[in-house]
Amino acid sequence: MSSQTTKIITVFGATGHQGASVIASLLRNPAFAVRGTTRNVSSEGAQALTAKGVQLFTVDAVNPDADQLEAALKGAWGVFLNLSSHDPSIEENEYAAGKAMIDAIQGAGVEHIVYSSLPPSSLLTSGEVPMATFDEKYKLQQYISNSCNFATASFIQAAWYFDNFKYADFSGGFPFVPGADGVYTLRYPSCGPNLPLVAIENDFGDWVHGILLEPEAWNGKVVQGSSAIMSYQEMVERFETYTGKKARVDEISVAEFETFGLSWMEEIAKMFTFFQKTAGRYYGVENDLGNAKKLKAAVAEKVGGKATLTTWEEWLAENWEDKEKQ
């Protein structure tokens, strides 16, 4: 247990999308001292964090250096843990690697853990749509809940990233590349009535921060990691209003979705099938923004900053440019 007034938080995967967002949020709060782990402390992203005062340690999730891991966890009050499922070194053994890491975190005396999980795809589809990324993360969530003795354990299941749209080739060009007729076309398989979306950079870190402000209140809870919930049609219509450009939806079958032979794209194709089998209930229950809003507002009340979740229009304002004018 840490007796220090400043509470040490160790963020695993410090330079990844989630970890970087968590660190950026925690650095706004002088009550926390932030540490991070990464495989390469010399990387550009790692050096940027070091310049901000983040103490970094070299820790590989599959083969962690025992001394570095011990140093990263020494005196830590809380931990944020995310495992990069698409890291080649972890793809085949995420549960084993995650369990070993969780055991080390618990053994170091850490009181509070926030774990980045995902819904159990096999369970929610009666075995019809198994996805290793989803099922392994959920299995680790269950291990933390049922077999560990942290003072508190909380979970966030991130939704579909807004940033997925930056890979415009996979969405028919939407929202960055117009078709030959000048119309921006969202070309995806159906995901059910609504798609939960997350602005990782802007919102995810505040949710972890908010949990750590009052961990007992969030103990055992699973937070739906969504910034917005929209249908394809609503997304297109709001894009038209914001940009003044024409757009449309062209729903295709999962078989028509081009994966380009990439394993992570094949996983995304499975995700569309998962959405269809669950009637859009990504989390196994109705999509809801309630807890995400509460956590975002709690952080703003404590340290200032934006108190509301990132909207589609706000994400477009940060990322969309009119290519026709360039």
pTM of the model: 0.95
**122: Cα within 13 Å, side-chain hemisphere:** 11
Q: Do 81 and 61 form a contact (C-beta atoms < 8 A)?
A: no
Higher pLDDT among residues 90 and 133, named by residue: 133
Beta-ladder partners of 81: 115
Of all residues in the chain, the percent with pLDDT exceeding 70 is 95
pLDDT tens for 90-132 read 666 889 999 999 999 999 999 999 999 999 999 999 999 999 8
Which are the contacts of 103, defined by CB distance < 8 A and separation ≥ 6?
Answer: none
Q: Do 236 and 250 form a contact (C-beta atoms < 8 A)?
A: no
pLDDT band (50, 70, 90) for residue 292: very high
Q: How far apart are CA 24 and CA 16, in angstroms?
A: 12
DSSP string of 139-184?
A: HHHHHHHHH---SEEEEEEE-EEGGGGGSGGGGTBTTTS--TTS-E
pLDDT tens for 59-77 read 987 788 899 999 999 999 9
Angle, alpha carbons 323-324-326 (nearest 5°):
65
User: β-pairing, 195-198 with 228-230?
Assistant: antiparallel
pLDDT band (50, 70, 90) for residue 212: very high
